[in-house]
A and B are shown apart, each in its own frame.
Chain A
Amino acid sequence: NAGVTQTPKFQVLKTGQSMTLQCAQDMNHEYMSWYRQDPGMGLRLIHYSVGAGITDQGEVPNGYNVSRSTTEDFPLRLLSAAPSQTSVYFCASSYEFAARGEQFFGPGTRLTVL
């Protein structure tokens, strides 16, 4: 099993550009989440999904969109990138609710917005 994979690993954008961060898992997990990690702060939840076709907002959802058309994939879209979105983004999946089940994290995407 590859676990949780993310692409790209690094990305540089200009303000106003859009892009999609890809996340895939091969563990047949229902629950998937997107987090951002900024220096001096704990991971913060952006969006999450409890199954295909079901998504919801986390703590910091503004400026991001998600969709979940399959169990395996959970892409994160930046509609109009801003410098405040410079961060490291992690995708995670779990078999149970995040509160109960062990979460498996991807390797991260380091995004810089100029």
Chain B
Amino acid sequence: KNQVEQSPQSLIILEGKNCTLQCNYTVSPFSNLRWYKQDTGRGPVSLTIMTFSENTKSNGRYTATLDADTKQSSLHITASQLSDSASYICVVSLANQAGTALIFGKGTTLSVSS
């Protein structure tokens, strides 16, 4: 069964600290893996998209890694800010699909406190 599992479910960190969110998937055939940030009451916003051949991709203070062999990805946030408080969703897409291609994780809720 195609699944995306994220951990931890929630996380609280102090402003300025770093953190890493995990994503494990059992999706085949694999096309790409995305990380989205969803602020409370808003729609998800794309942070990174990585294909099979990409190991690392950065977007400002956000760095995503992908290990296609172990089917694991991580999102590392550096020098966290209060505005980083949000839900982070890992999404894996199936190759050779049209509309029904995206498998969504349940998300990790990050709270950054001062």
Contacts and interface: CB of A to CB of B under 8 A. Distances in A.
Interface of A: 4, 31, 33, 40-45, 48-50, 56, 58-59, 90, 92, 97-100, 102-108
Contacts of B68: none
A99 B96 CA distance: 8
B108 to A, nearest CB: 12
B95 interface: yes
A14 B87 CA distance: 30
B107 A58 contact: no
A4 to B, nearest CB: 8
Contacts of B96: 99
A98 B44 contact: no
Contact of B4 (A42, A102, A103): A42
Interface residues on B, range: 20 to 34
Interface of B: 4, 31-32, 34, 41-46, 49, 89, 93-107
A50 B99 contact: yes
A97 B43 contact: no
Contacts, number: 74
Contact of B32 (A33, A50, A90, A99): A99
Contacts of B32: 99-100
Contact of B42 (A49, A56, A107): A107
A24 to B, nearest CB: 14
Contact of B44 (A44, A58, A105): A105
Contact of A45 (B41, B95, B100, B107): B100
Contact of B93 (A59, A99, A104): A99
Nearest to B9: A40
B100 A59 contact: yes
A108 B43 CA distance: 6
A42 B6 CA distance: 11
Contacts of A48: 98-100
